[in-house]
Amino acid sequence: MPRTELFPPLDPYQTGLLQVDAIHTLYWEQSGNPRGVPVVFLHGGPGAGASPTHRRFFDPSHYRIVIMDQRGAGRSTPLGEIRDNTTDHLIADLEQLRTELGIERWHVFGGSWGSTLGLAYAQAHPKRCISLMLRGIFLMRRSEIQWFLYHMRTIFPEAWANFSNFLPAEERGDLLESYYRRLTGSDYGMRMAAARVWSVYEGACSTLLPSPELLSASGEDTHALGLARIEAHYFRNNLFTPENRLLEGLGRIRGIPAVIVQGRYDIVCPIATADELHRAWPEADYVIVPDAGHSAMEPGIRAALVAATEKFKHLA
């Protein structure tokens, strides 16, 4: 039987800071086998940052596990910084880190926004990718952003009411612009209040069954500020041109072994997007988890992701 449980907790054997420009310094770490097959973990959000649990998707005896907090996220500085923060910047950062660590090729593992960045990176640098392991597919199109802002209320009306009602009634016609003003304003207290409400809204909609642990983590200051500010920034300013760029660029990556893992009841990134990606990219394995929502930590999603990392061990 293939392994489906997370690997035991482990500490990094190396950590560092990578200064990528005059503004941004990025946290990175390596764990597992220093002589193993490299894999890079791309966190979600954008802006969510990585956690120690994310190391545990990978067999530490086989993989050289590389994790980086993207611009403005987690342990990278400045926290929540949106200047010079675009998808193209993040792709360039990955290449700079890969070169810095002396890695020729690596597996690419990412969920939610990490699936977006993984696809964009692979299409820009296909020869650097051993495989793609993608979860909770998000292609950053207007329809998906509108779903997040307005239509998740069809399933989570209470969570959406809290999200919407944070704003004055006269500002609820454009939730993104109203939140963006608060998240980028000079009032720190207002920035943090808006960030917590935004982040908890996303957390409340991310699991099939309520998760008090996820809600608590969603309200934590560092996570909330990085996630909310950078998500609002990306949703407002960083749509792809053309909007279907990631679908139209699949020809560049068809030869890369890939797996798509998707929760049937994912409300944050609904399955219709993953299905559309799979139909355009039938070469990729497609795993629908029948009893899961969005979070990578749900048991079925977790098991499918570990199974994917085990399956691709033969690739180097």
Dump pLDDT digits (tens) for 58-87.
999 999 999 999 999 999 999 999 999 999
Q: Which amino acid is at 203?
A: G
Cα separation, 62 vs 110, whole angstroms: 19
Asked if the structure places residue 4 within a domain, the reply is no
Task: Let me know whether 133 and 255 are in one domain.
Answer: yes
Task: Let me know whether 122 and 169 are in one domain.
Answer: no
Asked if the structure places residue 1 within a domain, the reply is no
Query: What's the confidence (pLDDT) of residue 292?
Result: 98
User: Which tens digit of pLDDT belongs to each residue from 298-312?
Assistant: 999 999 999 999 999
Boundary (domain end) residue, out of 237, 266, 294? 237
Task: Let me know whether 194 and 253 are in one domain.
Answer: no
CATH number of the CATH domain containing 127: 3.40.50.1820
Task: Let me know whether 165 and 190 are in one domain.
Answer: yes
Query: What's the confidence (pLDDT) of residue 187?
Result: 97
Query: What's the confidence (pLDDT) of residue 303?
Result: 97
Q: Give phi and psi for 24, each to the nearest 5.
A: -105, 135
What's the structural domain count of the chain?
Answer: 2
User: Which tens digit of pLDDT belongs to each residue from 206-240?
Assistant: 999 999 999 999 999 999 999 999 999 999 999 99
Cα separation, 65 vs 1, whole angstroms: 24
Global pTM? 0.97
Task: Let me know whether 251 and 268 are in one domain.
Answer: yes
Task: Let me know whether 69 and 137 are in one domain.
Answer: yes
User: Which tens digit of pLDDT belongs to each residue from 83-131?
Assistant: 999 999 999 999 999 999 999 999 999 999 999 999 999 999 999 999 9
Task: Let me know whether 38 and 121 are in one domain.
Answer: yes
Boundary (domain end) residue, out of 237, 262, 288? 237
Least confident segment among 42-56, 209-223, 247-261: 209-223
User: Which tens digit of pLDDT belongs to each residue from 261-289?
Assistant: 999 999 999 999 999 999 999 999 999 99
Asked if the structure places residue 20 within a domain, the reply is yes
Boundary (domain end) residue, out of 237, 270, 287? 237
Task: Let me know whether 129 and 26 are in one domain.
Answer: yes
* Residue range of the domain that includes 230: 142-237
- Longest C-alpha distance within the chain, in Å? 58
Query: What's the confidence (pLDDT) of residue 1?
Result: 74
Asked if the structure places residue 65 within a domain, the reply is yes
Asked if the structure places residue 9 within a domain, the reply is no
The yes-or-no verdict on residue 316 having pLDDT over 90 is no
Q: Which amino acid is at 30?
A: Q
Q: pLDDT grade, residue 4 (50/70/90)?
A: confident
The yes-or-no verdict on residue 148 having pLDDT over 80 is yes
Task: Let me know whether 28 and 132 are in one domain.
Answer: yes
Cα separation, 104 vs 159, whole angstroms: 44
Query: What's the confidence (pLDDT) of residue 144?
Result: 98
Q: pLDDT grade, residue 2 (50/70/90)?
A: confident
Mean per-residue pLDDT over the chain, rounded = 97
Catalytic residue numbers read 112, 266, 294
Asked if the structure places residue 3 within a domain, the reply is no
Asked if the structure places residue 198 within a domain, the reply is yes
Query: What's the confidence (pLDDT) of residue 105?
Result: 98
Task: Let me know whether 28 and 125 are in one domain.
Answer: yes
Q: pLDDT grade, residue 166 (50/70/90)?
A: very high
The pLDDT > 90 percentage for the chain reads: 98
Asked if the structure places residue 297 within a domain, the reply is yes
The per-residue b/e assignment along 49-73, b for 16 or more CB within 10 angstroms, e otherwise, is bbeeebbbbbbbebbbbbbbbbbbb
Among candidate residues 2, 63, 5, the one with its CA nearest the CA of residue 30: 63
Task: Let me know whether 113 and 253 are in one domain.
Answer: yes
Task: Let me know whether 221 and 247 are in one domain.
Answer: no
